[in-house]
Every structure is written in C-alpha cells, then in structure tokens.
C-alpha cells in the first residue's frame, strides 16, 4: 500500500539541460511549486555533461520558465522559491569515476533519491552501473525512464535487463506522459464511479470504440530518428495501447498499482494479434504527401529536411482490433494516429449500441446509439451526444443531436498547461506506480506491434498516401466502414 | 393520421378579454406570428360579453402584448400583422339567441372553426348548445378547454358529458399548458431516441424518480377558488400526473395521438391507489404559515386576503407512489408540490441505480448512481450528474460530482417566454391531439386523487405546517428518507 512507501525529497535529473527537461519537466516543477505541492525539503539535482555552476543552471531554469510557462502564470516569488531547489552536477555519464561527483554533491541530502533519466537509452546501463558503484542505490531508490522503452520487443527487453540489474520492478517508473493528463486519469473515475456508463460498458452496451491521436506537426528536425521508428512504434505502442487498456480493462479490485497494472496486462494479453491472415482487413498504413494546413503549404514526408526519398516508413496507421475476452466479444476497437493531419486531436469515442425502435419519422431510419466523446486534446473533457427534439412547434418528425458537455478545463479550472508531468512527478515522489507502466505491459505492447509490422511486411501490404492537412487516406475510412461504422467527426 | 386532418383557419376565442387570453394566449399568438407560423388566412374571433368594437379589441391586444411580451421581442410590423387577424363579437354566452351574432360575424370565414373556451366551466354547456343551435358545429370543428376539467371525478364527468353532447372525443382538446413546454415535449425524444437512457429506463436501471413542482407564489387573490381545490387537485391531478405518465409510459408504437394517449392511460391504470391502509406512509399534506421569501415577509395561508382562519386546505403535498407493472416493479415515484416554497422550481429527477463496487477511498462508502435532472423551470434543459476525479495531483481518493448539461434555452435559442401555449395552439390548428388529454386520462387522474383525499380524510391524517419560503414540512423529507432516499438538492 502506498501508505508505507517512503516519500522522496531528493530528485536527480539526468539530462537537466536537454530538451525534455527544459520544455516539460522544469515547467511542471514550476506548477507544482505554485500549487504548494512540494515539500520544503525537496531538492533537485540537475546532472549534465557541461560544466556549469548552480547559478548558471538556475538561470537556465528561469529561461525555461520564461519560454515554456505562459506569462500570465509567472510569479517571481514562485520562481525564486523553485530555483532555490535546483543544484547542478557535471558528469560524463559514460565515465564510472564521474559518479563520485554526484555522491559528493548530495552526500548531505536526504536519501533515498529518485533518478530521472531524461537521456538517451544508450546511457541507461552506464548510469545504473555508475549509481551502483557510487553506492547511491538503496532498496527505496526510484529510477524513472521515459517511454518508448526501446523500439521493439528485443531492444525493450535489453533496456529492461539493464534497469533490473540494480533496480527491482517496484523501483522502476516507466513514464508515459499521456497517462498524466487529467482526462486520462479521469477515465478510471468515469468508468467505475458512473453507473450509467459502467452498466453498459461491455459488448451488450457498446457498438464500437475509436481511439484517435491525430497530430498536425510533421517530422521536422527528427526525421532520422522517426524514420527508424514509424508511427506504429512511435504512437500506438505507447500512447494508444495505454488508452485502450484504460478503456477496456476489467474493474480493478482496488485502485492500487498492482491491481490496475494487472488489469491492463490482461487487456494486452487478450488483444487479438495481427497476423498475415488477418492483416489486410485490419491494418492500414500510409505516408503523407505535400499539402496544406491552415493555408500553409507543407512538404511531403520524403521532402522534409534530411529525408531519404525512398523511405517507406508509415506516418499514419489505422487499425481494427478486438479484445478477446467475455466483456468485449465482437466489439471492434479502432485505433488511428498520424502526423500532419488536419488538426491536433486526441480523443476516445465510445459508440453505445442503439436500443430501440425508431419512431421519429416515417422513413423509419434506424435509431443511432449515443456517443460519448472523451477529449484529451485540444480540450480536456467529456461530452455525451444526446438526441433531442428540434425546437419549434413541429412535433416529433425528427431528432437533433446535441452535446451535453463537461469541460474539465472549465469546471475544474485546469490550466492550459502542456503536459501531464506534474501529476507524474508527484507520483514518483510519493511512490505511486499506478500510472506508470510495468515491464510486462511494455513488452506485451511491443510484441503486438512487432507482430503487426511483421505481418504487414510479410504480406507486402501497400503503403498508402494522404495529403498533409487531411484526415488520412481513404483506406482508413474503408477499414471502418466495412463494418457499417464511421470515424466520429464533429 | 394527422395528414388527413383539416387545417383550421378560423379560431374563436371565448373570453378574449379575460385573464388567460390577455396574459397567455394573445402573447402566444404574437410569437407564432413573429416566427411565420401562421397561415395568411387565419382569423381570430374574440368573443366577450362587453360591447367593444373590433378596433377596441385590437387596442386591448396591443396592450396585452405591451405588458406580457418582453420589450426586446416587440416589433411593430409583427404587431400590425397580428392585430389585423383579430375581430370581436359581443355575446352573452348564457343567451341562446346571442349565438346568431357569432354566426353573422363569421359567415364568410373559412370553416370549420376551433372554439377555445377561456371561460368558466359553468358556461360550457350553454356554449356547446348555442354553437349547435347556430349551426356552427361540423364534424371537423374543434373545441378546446383548459385543465383542470372539474374539481373531482364527478364534476369532471359532468363537464365531459356536456362537451360530448355535441362534440366527439376526437374534436375535444383538453389543454394542460405544461405539456406545451419544450422540455416536456422533449421527454419523448429524450426517452426514446437515446439508447444510453432507454436501455436503463426501468426497475433494473432506476432507483427512484422525483417530480417536484414548487411554487414561490402564495394564493393571493384567488383564495376562495383555491381553498375549494387544495394543492392535490390544483397541481397533482393535472400537471404532476401528466409528467409522471410521460416519464413512465411504455414506448408507443408510433408517435401519433392514439398511441401516446393509450400508453398514458396504461400508466394511470397501473398507478398504485392510495387507500386508508397505506395512506399514512405515502401521503403528506401541509399548509404554509408565515415566513420570508427573498427577505420579504409573507403571511401564512390562513392570513391571506379573504382567508377563512379555520381552513384545513393543504397547500403542499408529498406523495410516494408506485406503478404496478413490469417495468417499474418496486421503483418509488415521489411527487411533491407546494405553494410559497423557497423558489419556483419544476423538475424531474431520475436517480439511476448504482452499479458497482466503490473503489475510490478506503471508507468504502457505497457508490451512488448517476442522476439525470430534467428541468422545466427556472431553466429548460437536462443535466446529468457525473462523478469525476477532483482535479489535482492526488490520486483517486475520492470523487466529485459535476453536471454535464444541455440547456435548451441556450442550445436551441429558446426564448424566455412564459408559456407552452404556442406549440399547443399550433396543434389545435393542425389537429394534433397527442399533447392534449383524453377523457379517460382526465377521469383516471381524478379518480386517483379523489381516492387519496378520501383515504386521508377517513384516516384523519394530520395536516402539517411549513413556513413560507422553505421546502415544505419535515414530514416530506421523512416520507422519502424512510426508503434511504432524499429529495435532490442543487
């Protein structure tokens, strides 16, 4: 139980000068400071290769806040309180002897520490070994790594082996920042505290489920990295499958880490594997060509800076899958994600089954089920489409669809802040692993994605194309319309 | 089917100078004119005892609009168009010979006509006879009467006998203006076009139902009239039982008049009768004493102008009842209505059953079901209470309740207009009886109310008291809390 777990006051951030720290983690610490969530004794040690002083780091922190926190939220008092917590230690992470610097710097600090690896996975092993030889690891230390862990099952297993050399599974925090979003966390409450939904959250009540993560950004300066991954590995393996797990899992017995993780693992185990016999009707991959977004011309994927013109890497996938268990018999789960799409939209759409006879006009068109839209971006909230009578004196000759909405940003005064890191950082400090991924989940997700890619390659599936600024290739619509379904459009 | 029914262009309004016409009907005609709903050939003949000219009537119409239509909606062009439709005929309704004036006045008008009786029921018989002897009734004429029809079963039957002397049931339109409200009409769409609700709209999905019509007004200048009625007859017999029927009825086969009426009749037939054996635990009546509403002192019922100090008439009732059929086995329906309560609120609250195990904190308090609030006043709309995670970095230690709302006034740009008469007037013209009451409904409702009053008298039930400006006597809360339920409070 979380009650017995030690609270941590020493946070060591490897890669403090890197992109992730500057853009996401430091701003997240700021919001936590502002909201009074941080213990007085919390200290943060930034680790980097460059030789900078504590004060120079603090200047970098200030700069990060200036750039990445909206001006209206900046308060100098809070900035000062926060930067006092930051210290710096220069360290070449590949050199075992450098870790003694670390030891020296935090010898008076409260222990155990949390080690956050905002660095390349290639350095994970040396960091673990270095921390070990510097005797900085205790059974209560925590180590944090960012998803994706690896780029396929094998590399993921290698990384996990390195981490488990010195850390137990209960000490490893694999972050998927999607899971820090308020709405994602709300999925659990939404599903298990609302009888209206929970009583129909199964194949008797639900017709199909969509999970969409559309991005409007292209690949830009990380072409080389992305081209080795592709959209399936970059987005489905991590974020989309996690959302799927939270939507589909059985009610956990309790809300503790183990109960939730074990339910998520069960979903991944039940996820129908894509193989060469079924891949053609269940998997669409595509790459963007040039097009326009908001009136601005965008190059195609193979014309981006640094691109290889022959690349066959997918920037879009649409997948139809099923969860082979009692609850979800025959309910299609559609996943869709792509780059350079019309807008950045992340949402889960639950299509409830129709239940009844259509009495609202003479054409006897079939009754549609209600739709629950869970938005993660651009807004965070939930919205239920209900059918109502169109206003006016005419009687019931038709129905209209209106949204009943609950906007978490409005009702809960959520800030328009760019990440879910605050909540995850707090979980690391307090030792709550429920929103972090266990090894089994990560590896099952990789295995499923590896199978899909392999099946697609083996059967020489076509790579389709879509113009930048659209919602993907026509084959994505066909994938779902063959079941009489369609992607939700606002 | 309504397709084959004649459209009416001649509307005869008996009591055109009376309160109902001036305050409700004329303004309703205005909104219909404004919205272009009226046929060019529609004419309205106002009938009254006073000798006034057409022009004088038109001045009265203008005056009514000035007083009873919000200034922002008044457009002189529309006013002019409307008053051109109005004509006047003086007529002593008790004199058979006066009806020839009527005949003369509308001899060139299109026939058949609709006759709207905005007059005392004591005159209904002479009007019917007079219309008959003046040969103004054809098989397609319509006659409209306002609820309540009578003050008990017997008087209601007498009135119905008088109407049916010359009119067939299909020609009689018994108005309950509640049923013209957009939200009330929306109940049918809400229930039968939304699978999420319809699939749980029964004893398996619903824990209990509340119907509340609280008024903040007292009795004021109609003390004598009200004292002979009491709140049960004044409000429950008409409005509340109608709402109950719409909430509880089985899905009609079609949305035509007969299908809906016959389903409503079935609800009233299945309504558990209150008798002397069960009345004490199911019926609370009370009278208001002096108190304060919004800081203004209000006298008690027996201190109102014209009051009889010994009156034992109830101004409040709370009732627990059941619908004895398959759908509603064991589901309590609570009705509550009173005068001089804290505010004017009319709402139906559906409490869905809890479905699940509470996992959100350690106290293991039981999970609450969702609540659907259908508001008729002060707003018109629906709102679903959903449980969400309180914002913040804390994990799922508790839930909060947030409303997902659909405000018909906002989404459908409903005007803040005082009545549901527009829609009902259009129904009269087009011959749609589905929102009017059939004789059987009215008489079953009276019978049920008569039984309740008789049982209460026979068992000498206490009349309780409540201060003006409160939500009724404590016994009203006890009535419902004995089942572990409570009245919904915002």
CA distance from start to end of chain B: 43
Task: Give start-end residues of each CATH 3.40.50.720 domain in chain A.
Answer: 10-146
d(CA B226, CA A105): 86
Is pLDDT at A374 greater than 70 in this prediction? yes
pLDDT band at A1 (very low <50, low <70, confident <90, very high): very low
pLDDT band at B223 (very low <50, low <70, confident <90, very high): very high
* Residue B152, phi then psi, degrees to nearest 5: -165, 180
Q: Of all helices (H) and strands (E), which one includes residue B428?
A: helix B421-430
Give which of A147, A129, A145 is closest to A137, Cα–Cα: A129
* pLDDT value for A173: 96
Is pLDDT at A237 greater than 50 in this prediction? yes
Check if B365 contacts A (Cβ < 8 Å). Answer: no
Check if A202 contacts B (Cβ < 8 Å). Answer: no
Residues in chain A with CB shorter than 8 Å from the CB of B434 are 395
Q: Report how many Cβ contacts below 8 Å link chain A to chain B.
A: 191
Average pLDDT over residues A29-34: 94
Instruction: Tell me whether residues B196 and A369 touch, CB distance under 8 A.
Output: yes
Q: CB-CB: which of B185, B195, B360 is closest to A352?
A: B195
d(CA A177, CA A169): 19
Q: CB-CB: which of A189, A252, A352 is closest to B387?
A: A189
Check if A160 contacts B (Cβ < 8 Å). Answer: no
pLDDT tens digits, one per residue of B358-402: 888 755 566 789 999 999 888 888 899 988 887 764 555 677 777
Q: Which two tokens stand for residue B240?
A: 């509340």
* pLDDT value for A365: 63
* pLDDT value for B26: 96
* 8 A C-beta contact, residue A142 and residue A118: no
pLDDT tens digits, one per residue of B329-363: 999 999 999 999 999 999 999 999 988 788 887 55
Instruction: Tell me whether residues A196 and B406 touch, CB distance under 8 A.
Output: no
> Higher model confidence: residue A332 or residue B433?
A332
d(CA B369, CA B350): 10
Instruction: Tell me whether residues A254 and B359 touch, CB distance under 8 A.
Output: yes
pLDDT band at A185 (very low <50, low <70, confident <90, very high): confident
Task: Give the mean pLDDT of chain A.
Answer: 91
* pLDDT value for A401: 76
pLDDT tens digits, one per residue of A402-457: 778 777 766 655 555 556 798 899 999 999 998 899 999 999 999 999 999 999 99
DSSP string, A424-487: HHHHHHHT--TTSB-HHHHHHHHHHHHHHHHHHHHTTPPEEEEETTBS--HHHHHHHHTTT---
Q: How far is A405 from chain B (nearest CA, A)?
A: 5
* pLDDT value for B393: 47
Average pLDDT over residues A456-471: 96
Burial B329-355 (b: 16+ CB within 10 A, else e): eebbbbbbbbbbbbeebbbbbbbbbbb
* pLDDT value for B443: 96
Is pLDDT at B419 greater than 90 in this prediction? no
Check if B195 contacts A (Cβ < 8 Å). Answer: yes
Check if A402 contacts B (Cβ < 8 Å). Answer: yes
Average pLDDT over residues B186-195: 90
* pLDDT value for A364: 55
Strand residue runs (E) in A251-327:
283-289, 291-293, 296-298, 316-321
Residue B163 has, within 13 A of its CA and on its CB side, a CA count of 27
Residues 256-285 on B with a CB inside 8 Å of A are: none
Q: Which two tokens stand for residue B213?
A: 């019509």
Residues in chain B with CB shorter than 8 Å from the CB of A396 are 185, 188-189, 255
Instruction: Tell me whether residues B370 and A200 touch, CB distance under 8 A.
Output: no
Task: Give the mean pLDDT of chain B.
Answer: 91
Is pLDDT at A265 greater than 90 in this prediction? yes
Q: Is B239 a catalytic residue?
A: yes
Q: Which two tokens stand for residue B137?
A: 């009734």
The architecture in CATH of the region A179-481 reads 2-Layer Sandwich (3.30)
Check if A404 contacts B (Cβ < 8 Å). Answer: yes
pLDDT band at A296 (very low <50, low <70, confident <90, very high): very high
Percent of chain B residues past pLDDT 70, beyond the cut: 94
Strand A296-298 with A291-293, pairing: antiparallel
Is pLDDT at A10 greater than 60 in this prediction? yes
Average pLDDT over residues A142-168: 92
pLDDT tens digits, one per residue of B231-266: 999 999 989 999 999 999 999 988 888 899 999 999
d(CA A232, CA A445): 11
d(CA B316, CA B93): 36
Is pLDDT at A142 greater than 70 in this prediction? yes
Task: Give start-end residues of each CATH 3.30.360.10 domain in chain A.
Answer: 179-481
d(CA B200, CA A199): 9
* pLDDT value for B389: 82
Residues in chain A with CB shorter than 8 Å from the CB of B205 are 199
Does residue B413 come out as left (phi exceeding 0), alpha (psi in the -120 to 50 range) or beta?
left
Based on the number of CB atoms within 10 Å of its own CB, is A362 exposed (0-12), middle (13-18) or buried (19 or more)? Answer: exposed
d(CA A234, CA B375): 47
Of A129-138, A475-484, B381-390, least confident by mean pLDDT is B381-390
* pLDDT value for B220: 75
pLDDT band at A397 (very low <50, low <70, confident <90, very high): low
* Residue A402, phi then psi, degrees to nearest 5: -125, 145
> What pairs with residue B14 in β-bridges?
B47, B117
Percent of chain A residues past pLDDT 70, beyond the cut: 94
* pLDDT value for B2: 40
pLDDT band at A362 (very low <50, low <70, confident <90, very high): low
> Given this structure, which CATH class describes domain A10-146?
alpha beta
pLDDT band at B218 (very low <50, low <70, confident <90, very high): confident
pLDDT band at A367 (very low <50, low <70, confident <90, very high): confident
Q: Provide ipTM, 2 decimals.
A: 0.87
pLDDT band at A393 (very low <50, low <70, confident <90, very high): very low
Considering the candidates A166, A177, A239, A351, report the single residue annotated as catalytic: A239
Considering the candidates B166, B177, B239, B351, report the single residue annotated as catalytic: B239
* 8 A C-beta contact, residue A349 and residue A209: yes
Average pLDDT over residues B176-184: 83
* 8 A C-beta contact, residue B186 and residue B315: no
Check if B398 contacts A (Cβ < 8 Å). Answer: no
* pLDDT value for B3: 44
* pLDDT value for A404: 82
Q: CB-CB: which of B188, B251, B432 is closest to A356?
A: B251
d(CA B392, CA B485): 31
d(CA B151, CA B147): 10
* pLDDT value for B4: 55
Residues in chain B with CB shorter than 8 Å from the CB of A359 are 192, 251-255
Residues in chain B with CB shorter than 8 Å from the CB of A382 are 386, 404
* pLDDT value for B407: 72
Q: Which two tokens stand for residue B171?
A: 């020609």
* pLDDT value for A41: 95
Is pLDDT at B467 greater than 70 in this prediction? yes
Q: Which two tokens stand for residue A102?
A: 């670390």
d(CA B445, CA B235): 11
Residues in chain B with CB shorter than 8 Å from the CB of A399 are 189, 193
Strand B400-407 with B381-388, pairing: antiparallel
* pLDDT value for A415: 53
Measured CA distances, B431 to A138, A399, B177, B424 (Å): 84, 21, 16, 10
Q: Which residue of A has its CA nearest to B413?
A: A391
């Amino acid at each position: 139980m979380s009650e017995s777990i030690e609270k941590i006051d020493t946070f060591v951030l490897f890669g403090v000068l890197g992109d992730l720290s500057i853009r996401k983690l430091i701003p997240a610490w700021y919001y936590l400071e502002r909201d009074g969530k941080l213990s007085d004794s919390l200290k943060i040690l930034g680790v980097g290769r460059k030789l900078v002083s504590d004060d120079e780091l603090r200047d970098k922190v200030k700069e990060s806040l200036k750039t990445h926190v909206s001006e209206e939220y900046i308060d100098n008092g809070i900035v000062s309180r926060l930067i006092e917590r930051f210290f710096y230690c220069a360290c070449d992470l590949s050199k075992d002897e450098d870790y003694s610097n670390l030891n020296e710097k935090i010898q008076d600090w409260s222990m155990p520490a949390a080690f956050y690896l905002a660095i390349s996975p290639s350095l994970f092993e040396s960091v673990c070994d270095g921390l070990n030889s510097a005797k900085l690891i205790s059974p209560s230390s925590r180590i944090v790594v960012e998803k994706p862990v690896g780029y396929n099952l094998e590399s993921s297993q290698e990384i996990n082996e390195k981490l488990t050399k010195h850390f137990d599974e209960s000490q490893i925090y694999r972050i998927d920042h999607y899971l820090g979003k308020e709405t994602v966390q709300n999925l659990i409450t939404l599903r298990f505290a609302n009888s209206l939904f929970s009583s129909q959250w199964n194949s008797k009540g639900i017709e199909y489920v969509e999970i969409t993560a559309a991005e409007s950004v292209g690949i830009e300066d990380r072409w080389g990295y992305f081209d080795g991954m592709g959209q399936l590995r970059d987005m489905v393996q991590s974020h989309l499958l996690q959302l799927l797990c939270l939507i589909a899992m059985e009610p956990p017995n309790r809300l503790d880490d183990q109960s939730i993780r074990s339910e998520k693992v069960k979903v991944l185990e039940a996820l129908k594997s894509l193989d060469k016999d079924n891949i053609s009707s269940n998997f669409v991959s595509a790459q963007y060509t040039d097009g326009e977004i908001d009136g601005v011309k965008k190059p195609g994927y193979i014309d981006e800076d640094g691109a290889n013109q022959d690349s066959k890497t997918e920037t879009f996938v649409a997948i139809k899958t099923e969860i082979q268990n009692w609850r979800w018999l025959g309910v299609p789960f559609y996943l869709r994600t792509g780059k350079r799409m019309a807008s950045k939209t992340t949402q889960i759409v639950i299509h409830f089954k129709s239940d009844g006879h259509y009495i609202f006009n003479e054409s006897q068109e079939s009754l549609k089920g209600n739709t629950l839209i869970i938005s993660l971006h651009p807004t965070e909230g939930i919205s239920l489409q209900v059918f109502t009578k169109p206003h006016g004196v005419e009687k019931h000759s038709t129905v209209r669809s209106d949204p009943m909405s609950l906007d978490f940003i409005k009702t809960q005064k959520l800030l328009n802040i760019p990440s879910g890191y605050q909540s995850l950082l707090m979980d690391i400090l307090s030792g709550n692993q429920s929103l972090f991924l266990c090894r089994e989940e990560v590896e099952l997700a990789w295995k499923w994605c590896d199978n899909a890619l392999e099946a697609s390659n083996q059967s020489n599936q076509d790579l389709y194309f879509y113009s930048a600024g659209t919602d993907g290739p026509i084959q994505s619509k066909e994938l779902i319309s063959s079941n009489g379904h369609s992607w939700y459009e606002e």
